[in-house]
Amino acid sequence: MPQTPRQRARAQTMDDIIRIGRAHLVENGAAALSLRAVARDLGVVPSAVYRYVANRDDLLTLLVVDGFDELGDAVDAALSQAPVGDFRGQFLLAAHALRAWALASPATYALLYGSPVPGYRAPDERTTGPGTRVVRRLIGIWDVAHHDGQLALHEVEVPATLSDDLETIRLELGVRVPDAVLARAATVWAAMIGCVSAEVFGLYGSDTFADTGALYDFQLAALADSVGFTSSR
Amino acid sequence: MPQTPRQRARAQTMDDIIRIGRAHLVENGAAALSLRAVARDLGVVPSAVYRYVANRDDLLTLLVVDGFDELGDAVDAALSQAPVGDFRGQFLLAAHALRAWALASPATYALLYGSPVPGYRAPDERTTGPGTRVVRRLIGIWDVAHHDGQLALHEVEVPATLSDDLETIRLELGVRVPDAVLARAATVWAAMIGCVSAEVFGLYGSDTFADTGALYDFQLAALADSVGFTSSR
DNA sequence: TGTACATCAGTGAACGCGCGTTCACTGATGTAC
DNA sequence: TGTACATCAGTGAACGCGCGTTCACTGATGTAC
């Protein structure tokens, strides 16, 4: 597709807006994200930004999608290095990629997995796809592991009221893991977000843990065990 | 201590400010918390609020402390109903109290356990005490359970770099649980926050789980197992 | 290849708004004698 | 018990600031013939 100079300039400006927006996220947070401030950094009059972005909420949505994509790419990149067949190893690589990205981009991580932004609701049709990339990759790992008989999950009872929802997830994701594995996956995912948030958001207190990387490794081992990954060979 | 009318009025106004502040948290979030808006609802001129609160950050700190206290009270109340000696049951009661309080006060929960408020840092000397009430109660449960030989935690390896920090925690909290239990406690605590945040912050997606209470029960069972609580008798 | 018209990025002014914080003040409440 | 003074809650005006969004506009870029 041949691009006119005008189209290239537009794409460039669009990228600049997202880059500047993310920088502002770091300093002021999502609630204070301001089109005027973005325009200022872009070297342009405030109204000019409206050529690129419908309004403030639209800019937030762009940042959400961009953030999910960057995180998804990071996890994909990590998994592309993973040894085939070592499912526990794959899980750990993905989990480490999540933490590394969150620590590198704490403000964007907060936008995606922290407190909701008051008055803003991400439009499902634009964010659901990018927003579920990581969890889909994770469940994919469990799916293959389960098929290969590498998931030593002893029988756990799953509440009956969850069955329908779990079946829906199975259909949407095209996986065949049993309820117990799927429900444990939801547990591990939420727990993993909790561990990362605790560190990124400073929930442990200022100086409680010096080597938070080691703590995360310890936490991941427990999570990997709980979903039935056998120890790495 | 006899109170003059003026002192009573002051205490009353102070309570009102906190109550109004928390209501504003719900609608606008912490980042947009405004002294002027509080003054408006209080029926008073903006500058009058400065008789009660040094500045905007000070009001935030009041809300943080008030939130931690309310949550601490809720957990304490739940645990006062717990059967003596049933440690798993105590853990589950505390965990349910946390979720119930978070769902009832999502905005305050977000202030305590969600994304940090940009530009605000809670002063340690005022928030550390109230902020660690819940985790201290939880570790207390593990401590007693361990002393009673009710903690079936098979040997797990704890990274050596964590030992010093864990020893510091043991001293500060006056408990005697081994490293493995304490590190698992940190894991369970972060995971529990993650499960509650996932629900309160809407991280699962709009309609993924209908019975989130059942999901939480399932998640808690996994967490209780992972720290070695035996099934309730 | 040259011209006429359409598209569109960016300007500049304006709208009405809310914010935190300060200051000198009034008048009611509390306290010491 | 009564008076003089100190304390302090609340007023009202002002400061300088940033915000989202609209509108009519200019002038460069792109396109159809």
Residue ranges of B 167-186 with Cβ closer than 8 A to chain A: 168-169, 183-184, 186
Q: Chain B within 8 Å of A223 (Cβ-Cβ)?
A: yes
Q: What pLDDT score does B180 carry?
A: 94
The C-alpha torsion from A220 through A222 and A227 to A230, rounded to 10°, is: 90
Backbone angles phi and psi of B151, in degrees to 5? -110, 105
pLDDT of residue B233: 43
Q: Output the pLDDT for position B70.
A: 98
pLDDT at A153: 77
Half-sphere exposure of B223 (CA within 13 A, CB side): 34
B51 CA from C32 C1′ (Å): 25
pLDDT (0 to 100) of residue B230:
78
pLDDT beneath 70, residues of chain A: 1-2, 231-233
Instruction: Please give the backbone phi and psi of residue B98, each rounded to the nearest 5 degrees, phi first.
Output: -60, -50
> For residue A113, what is the nearest residue in chain B, using CA coordinates?
B203
Query: What pLDDT is recorded for position A233?
Result: 42
B90 in Cβ contact with B78 (< 8 Å): no
Whole-angstrom Cα Rg for chain B = 20
User: Å from A22 (CA) to C10 (C1')?
Assistant: 23
Decide if B201 touches A, using CB distance below 8 A: yes
A230 exposure class (CB count in 10 Å sphere: 0-12, 13-18, 19+) = middle
DSSP-H helix ranges across chain B: 5-28, 35-42, 56-80, 87-104, 106-113, 124-131, 133-147, 163-173, 179-200, 212-226
A124 shares contact with chain B (CB less than 8 Å):
yes
Flag whether residue A39 sits within 8 Å of chain B, measured between CB atoms.
no
> CB of A55 under 7 A from strand D?
yes
Q: Which of B146, B125, B134 has the alpha carbon at shortest distance from B190? A: B134
Chain B neighbors of A128, CB-CB under 8 A: 205
What distances in angstroms separate CA A71 from CA A65, A74, A104, B67, B225, one per listed residue?
A: 10, 5, 11, 32, 31
Beta pairing partners, B151? B229
> Can you tell me the distance from the alpha carbon of A116 to that of B129, in angstroms, rounded to the nearest whole number?
27
CB-based contact, B221 to chain A, within 8 Å: yes
Cα angle vertex B25, ends B24, B30, to 5°? 120
Best of B60, B157, B218 to mutate (most A CBs within 10 Å, chain A): B218
Q: Which residues of chain B fall below pLDDT 50? A: 233
And the tokens for B145?
């359970």
B123 touching chain A per CB within 8 A: no
d(CA B95, CA B75): 8
Look up tokens 């109903």; give the residue.
B81
Long-range contact pairs involving A39-44 (C-beta distance under 8 Å, separation at least 24) = A42/A13, A42/A16, A42/A17
Give dist(CA A82, CA A91) in Å, integer: 9
Measured between alpha carbons, how far is A187 from B218 in angstroms, rounded to an integer? 8
pLDDT of residue B184: 95
| Residue B117 pLDDT | 95
**Two tokens at B66?**
């008030």
Using C1' positions and the CA of B50, the closest nucleotide is C21
CB within 8 Å of A125: residues ≥ 6 apart:
none
Check: CB of residue B57 under 8 Å from CB of residue B120: yes
> Looking at CA atoms only, how far is residue A170 from chain B in angstroms?
11
| Interface contact flag, B193 A197, Cβ < 8 Å | yes
Q: Do B165 and A208 touch (CB under 8 A)?
A: yes
Contact between A34 and B31 (Cβ < 8 Å):
no
Residues 67-106 of chain B whose Cβ lies under 8 A from any Cβ of chain A: none
Phi and psi angles of residue B181, each rounded to the nearest 5 degrees, phi first: -65, -40
> Which of A111, A163, A218, A227 to substitute to test the interface with B, most B CBs within 10 Å?
A218
What confidence score (pLDDT) does residue B232 get? 54
Structure tokens at B142: 């593990």
Residue lying closest to nucleotide D11, CA to C1' = B45
